[in-house]
Structure 1
Amino acid sequence: MKDWQPTEETVAVKSFAESFLSSGRFDAEYYQPKYDQVEEAIKDCGFLSQNLGSLIEPIQNGFDYREYTEEGTPYIRVGDVKNGQINFESAVKIPITMANVDKSVGLQIGDIIFTRKGSFGNSAVVTELEVNGIISSEIMLVRLTSVSRQEVLPEYVSLFLNSKFGYLQVEHRVHGVAYYSISQPDLANLLIPILPKYQQQKIAEKIKSSFSLKLKSKQLLEIAKTGVERAIETDEATATIWINQQLEALGVKLT
């Protein structure tokens, strides 16, 4: 599926039985040929495909809360999930903890969160850094079952959902007028090809390596910025010593 691209054709001819009677959808966009093609490509890719719903526990929507504070629990909203990661630093704070939430949406390492409304279709895997956060009601909690975890990695599922093959399936199923959204049953119906575990592990390792490099780049930028500030506040020699100490802590050697 490496070089696969959807058709740009936007017209499909469907009978009443093939359209509304089978899908319940009247909107013409739903029947664009590219949506049939992406599912055909997945089915013909050479790997066993399964519906997402067969791999996961029941999908849960997050918790709705609108009173933000300066301090408190990070509240993860749609805008905090992008590029396969959760931007915990940008999350607003709310004055409650999961103990005050009457829904089973407490995060665990390896959970997948998925934006369902507005900027729909963005997915990320929860790490140890985000387990204390609370997800908003416009985010879905997707958790692999203990059985499926033996064969499927959450990093792979999240990557697939973020790929064009995942996004086109989501785009096909969204509904709404001002703000598009996807329902839990529609998300559960997405097709996912199940690659061999060793290939998934290679993919997961590359993802983690990429995220690690991004984090280190951000840390280096922060060290450089603080180093300049220290040089201004004290002197260049003191700032240089501090910078070298920070670089050594990161395992970075200057040549």
Structure 2
Amino acid sequence: MIKIKDLKNNTRCEEERMWKKLLATEEGHILEIGLIMALLSIILLGFGYLRFPEKAHVFIGMSATNILFGRAAGISFGFAFELSNVFVITTNIVIETILVLVFYPLFVFSWRSLVVIRPLRRVMKRMRITAEAHEDTIRKYGIIGLFFFVWLPFWMTGPMVGCAVGYLLCLSPRKNLIIVLSGTYLAIICWSLLLKGIHDSVATYSPYASIIIVTIIVLTITGISLLRFLRHRHKNRIS
């Protein structure tokens, strides 16, 4: 029993040392900033919930929709509940910034086999495969290619895949994040202006039109994800 306890204690000490070393790196500092931003957002949400519970519920819904189904669905969700353009843009910028700042370091650590997070193993593997698939194409156009890759509203061209591609292109963390986040912010603004116009137009026909738009976007993304999953599963069976 003593030996088992000693082994566990040694393992914990080694893990603590490893994390201290990782957090001392540039990627580690980025992860810390992302986690601090996430914590501050949760605290602000808590205060907001006490004073504006209805808006807090919408904020949570918009955040969850963005994370699960992408920025188009998240932005549409905000407009469906008549939030202002500025609030929708700002919220989605904060959400995607946190996602990038947390995901990028974890991807780098995973790529270097320094950290293995079991719940995120599939996500990391999928992102790695997607990033490698786009690497050669983006490499031809360099920084501009990466910027437009993140900005373009196509499937699997978001900021998380973008920062993974940037890492494969050997960009420094700072340059990588500047390019990816710039493309992300511009994409959010463009999506917001486009979807705001659509929501305002369809709202004249039905008060439920905005919710229908959100539903269509969510169902479309879910369908695409399901098709990709079935195709990947079929390939694995063949191989």
TM-score of the superposition, structure 1-length normalised? 0.29
TM-score of the superposition, structure 2-length normalised? 0.31
Q: Higher strand fraction: Structure 1 or Structure 2?
A: 1
| Larger radius of gyration between Structure 1 and Structure 2 | 1
